[in-house]
Structure formats: C-alpha cells, structure tokens
C-alpha cells in the first residue's frame, strides 16, 4: 500500500508486538487509576489512538465500561495507521469480547476500526468522550530531513538527530492535541502514557536495553551482514522520546492551552517486567550457574524481542531501500541480530536494568472551540 506523500509508515511487526510488549503493558497498567468514570452516562464513545495489535487497548476500555450503568450504549474506536496489523487486532478484540461486552449488564457495544494516522481527523467533531493513547505518541508524523555522514563522530550525529527530531516532535504534538480537541467533547478526557526521557530534576536515565542491540549491529557490520550506511539509517527511526518538560512546553503554547485544562503531568519510571522475573529466578537459583545463565538469557531475550518487534519493521524498510524491494532476507537477519544481541547482553551487560521513564498525561477538554 502506498502512503500519502511524506507520511511516516508506522507498523509494529505482524503477530509479534502483542506477545512482546511487556513494558508497554506495564506502563498502561500504571495509568489505569487515571481513567475517568461515567456512572450517569447512558452512552459513551472511547477512542484509542495508536491501538496497534490491541493488547494494551482492551483493559483500559473495559475499566471505563465497567463504570457505566446497566443498559448503556458504548462505541469503541480503534485507530492506527493503514499499515497496522489489522488482522491481529481483530483477533485480539474477538478473543476479548466475553469481557469487553460486560456480561449480564446489557451494555450495547459498537466497534469501529479506523485505518488513518492520528495526525488527522479520526472521528467526527465532538464525537468522543474519552481519548486514550498508550506508548504511541513518540512516533512522528514525517521523518525529519537529516543529512548523514557515516564517518561523523557519534556524539555529533546524536546531537544533530535530537535537535531535528525534537523540533518535529514539538510541532507534531501541538497538531495532535488540536485534532483531539476537535473530536473530544467539552468536559471530555484525554489520557496518555508517553514513553520518553527522564525529567530534568532526576539523574537516573531511561534505559531501553538498546546497548546490546547496538553492539550486535556493529558486529554485523564487521561481519559484512550490514553496511555502515544502513546502520546510520537505522538510527533515523521516526520517533522522539520527549522529556516531561518538552510535553509541558507544548501544553503551554496558547493555541493548546486554550483547548485543554492540564489535570496531570506526572513522570514515572517503569521497570521491564522481565527484570523482576529475572531477579526472582536468581534468588531461587542459589549458586546454580546454569540456572542463572539461563535466567539472564531469558531476560535478555524478552527485552530485545520487545525492541525488535517495535522497531524491526523500520529496519527492514531501510534494508529493502538499500538492497532492492525484492530482497527477502529480512526475517533471517532480524533473527540473527537478536541472537547476537542476546550473546552481547550475556557477555557484557549482565546487570543492565531495563527501565523507561513515562510521562502520564490527563487533560480535560475546555469549552473553547477547536
């Protein structure tokens, strides 16, 4: 499927993201207490912006639906890009219908799948009561232009990338919030968990677990499996991990502040659930080196599969552009990359704790016109 000119193609890897998005699920769980309730509403519309394969969309919707009175009518809208894995989303919804439908409460449900990017209109004006967004606001509308010099020092490249992507992300967030203000009714609520960087007041950084993966990529370059140019293109993944201060700056822009009342902007450090499992296994294994090494491999595997399932689609696009659209070695290369990265993790990153700063937003739609 062709994309509109300039639009970023966002698509989690088919069949894999639901299985491996453990830290994104943990981040969603940390926001459940922020969700609004509607004990008096006879009808309700909830929109999940960037629903992906659906595993993190269902539980928040169920929690909100549980607050409705018996016999209410609810419309659930699942939005993502046209390139999303829609068959897996449909299967996820189907498998959860026994709980989504609130058995015994006579809730009438109407489901809508909307294959457009969220930097656009998703539902009609003032149609939604609640907007939700879980771990997807970091994706950019378009990939910023950045001239690459593979021989440049890494620090120079990182600084140039962050500057270009931060500027784009700021404008994207303003645009996103204006679109949502046109769709969410006055008094309605928008709740989001935004993965990003630490607040300025904290010294503990986000650690996504990328270091072993980057080491593995460099190893594949030395092996001739990747080129330096391809590796540099990998770094242009169309995403920006904002700080809480960057989010607050966008919310303070008059054209946004006129639309939204800020109820919550709260950073939280979310630990990958596989780390907790790893620590428990270590405590139970005693001095058994074999069990400890197996536990480390399992932890590394879980962390890396999350990264590959959420970013691998982009790396494969880079490789097809470099090697030709008919190149078919992508799946094998990603599997090799993961194997090498697990080995790097076990040998060189044994005590690395994967934890990501999330900023939690709860916004209330003001009475101004969008």
pLDDT tens-digit map of 138-183: 999 998 887 766 677 778 888 888 999 999 999 999 999 999 999 9
* CA 81/CA 153 separation, integer angstroms: 35
Of the pLDDT bands very low, low, confident and very high (cuts 50, 70, 90), residue 370 is very low
Tell me what the pLDDT averaged over the chain comes to: 92
| Residue 261 and residue 282 in one domain | no
| Residue 250 and residue 113 in one domain | yes
Residue 3 falls inside a structural domain: no
Residue 10 falls inside a structural domain: no
| Residue 192 and residue 300 in one domain | no
Residue 287 falls inside a structural domain: yes
Residue 4 falls inside a structural domain: no
| Residue 124 and residue 215 in one domain | no
Chain centroid offset of residue 242 CA: 12
- For residue 196, pLDDT over 90 is answered with yes
| Residue 181 and residue 79 in one domain | yes
Residue 231 falls inside a structural domain: yes
| Residue 212 and residue 341 in one domain | yes
Q: Give 88's Cβ-side CA count (13 Å radius).
A: 20
Domain count, the chain: 2
Q: Which two tokens stand for residue 311?
A: 């970013």
Q: 1 vs 69, which has greater pLDDT? A: 69
- For residue 326, pLDDT over 50 is answered with yes
User: Which domain, by its residues, includes 284?
Assistant: 208-237+273-352
pLDDT for 2: 40
Residue 1 falls inside a structural domain: no
Quick check: 296 and 278 in contact, CB under 8 A?
yes
Using alpha carbons, select from 161, 239, 241 the residue that is nearest to residue 194. 241
pLDDT tens-digit map of 114-139: 999 999 999 999 999 999 999 999 99
Q: Which two tokens stand for residue 281?
A: 């296994």
Is 0.75 topped by the overall pTM? yes
Residue 5 falls inside a structural domain: no
Locate tokens 């770094």: which residue?
235
| Residue 221 and residue 83 in one domain | no
| Residue 128 and residue 261 in one domain | yes
Residues 87-91, mean pLDDT to the nearest whole number: 94
* CA 327/CA 21 separation, integer angstroms: 28
- For residue 5, pLDDT over 60 is answered with no
Of the pLDDT bands very low, low, confident and very high (cuts 50, 70, 90), residue 7 is low
DSSP secondary-structure letter at 12?
A: P
Residues contacting 262, CB < 8 A, separation 6+: 251, 361, 363
* CA 56/CA 22 separation, integer angstroms: 10
Using alpha carbons, select from 310, 299, 312 the residue that is nearest to residue 349. 299
Quick check: 53 and 22 in contact, CB under 8 A?
no
* CA 256/CA 348 separation, integer angstroms: 46
Q: Give 345's Cβ-side CA count (13 Å radius).
A: 28
DSSP secondary-structure letter at 34?
A: G
| Residue 97 and residue 164 in one domain | yes
Residues contacting 67, CB < 8 A, separation 6+: 36, 37, 38, 39
pLDDT tens-digit map of 41-55: 999 999 999 999 999
Quick check: 143 and 317 in contact, CB under 8 A?
no
* CA 370/CA 337 separation, integer angstroms: 46
Sign of CA dihedral 1, 162, 274, 217: positive
| Residue 326 and residue 249 in one domain | no
| Residue 83 and residue 221 in one domain | no
Sheet holding 184-196, edge to edge: 108-115, 73-80, 43-49, 128-134, 184-196, 355-365, 260-271
CATH number at residue 145: 3.40.50.150
Of the pLDDT bands very low, low, confident and very high (cuts 50, 70, 90), residue 203 is very high
Q: Give 128's Cβ-side CA count (13 Å radius).
A: 27
Residue 12 falls inside a structural domain: no
Residues 60-64, mean pLDDT to the nearest whole number: 97
**Pairing state between β 184-196 and 355-365:** antiparallel
- For residue 288, pLDDT over 90 is answered with no
Quick check: 268 and 357 in contact, CB under 8 A?
yes
Helix axis angle, 86-100 relative to 58-65, nearest 10°? 30
pLDDT for 172: 97
* CA 231/CA 214 separation, integer angstroms: 9
Residues 212-224, mean pLDDT to the nearest whole number: 97
Locate tokens 């700080």: which residue?
243
| Residue 182 and residue 292 in one domain | no
The percent of residues in the chain predicted with pLDDT above 70, rounded, is 94
pLDDT for 4: 42
């Amino acid at each position: 499927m062709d994309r509109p000119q300039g639009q970023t193609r966002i698509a989690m890897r088919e069949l894999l993201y639901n299985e491996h998005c453990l830290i994104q699920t943990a981040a969603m769980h940390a926001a459940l207490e922020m969700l609004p309730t509607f004990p008096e509403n006879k009808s309700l519309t909830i929109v999940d912006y960037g629903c992906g394969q659906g595993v993190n969309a269902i539980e928040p919707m169920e929690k909100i639906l549980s607050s409705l009175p018996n016999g209410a009518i609810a419309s659930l809208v699942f939005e993502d890009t046209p390139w999303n894995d829609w068959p897996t989303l449909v299967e996820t919804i189907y498998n959860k219908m026994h709980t989504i439908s609130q058995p015994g409460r006579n809730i009438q449900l109407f489901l809508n799948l909307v294959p457009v990017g969220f930097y656009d209109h998703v539902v009609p004006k003032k149609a939604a009561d609640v907007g939700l967004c879980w771990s997807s606001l970091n994706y950019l509308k378009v990939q910023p232009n950045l001239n690459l010099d593979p021989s440049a020092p890494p620090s120079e490249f990182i600084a140039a990338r962050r500057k270009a992507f931060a500027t784009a992300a700021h404008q994207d967030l303003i645009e996103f919030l204006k679109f949502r203000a046109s769709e969410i009714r006055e008094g309605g609520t928008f709740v989001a968990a935004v993965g990003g960087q630490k607040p300025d007041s904290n010294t503990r950084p986000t650690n996504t677990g990328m270091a072993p993966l980057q080491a593995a990529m460099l190893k594949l370059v030395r092996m001739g499996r990747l080129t330096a140019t391809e590796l540099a293109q990998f770094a242009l993944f169309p995403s920006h991990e904002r700080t809480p201060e960057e989010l607050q700056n966008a919310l303070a822009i008059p054209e946004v502040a006129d639309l939204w009342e800020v109820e919550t902007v709260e950073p939280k450090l979310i630990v990958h659930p596989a780390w907790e499992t790893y620590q428990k296994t270590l405590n139970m294994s005693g001095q058994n080196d074999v069990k400890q090494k197996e536990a480390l491999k399992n932890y590394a595997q879980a962390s890396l599969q999350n990264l590959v399932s959420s970013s691998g689609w982009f790396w494969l696009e880079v490789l097809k552009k470099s090697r030709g659209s008919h190149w078919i070695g992508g799946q094998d290369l990603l599997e090799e990359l993961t194997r090498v990265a697990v080995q790097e993790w076990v040998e060189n990153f044994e005590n690395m704790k994967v934890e990501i700063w999330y900023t939690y937003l709860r916004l209330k739609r003001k009475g101004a016109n969008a």
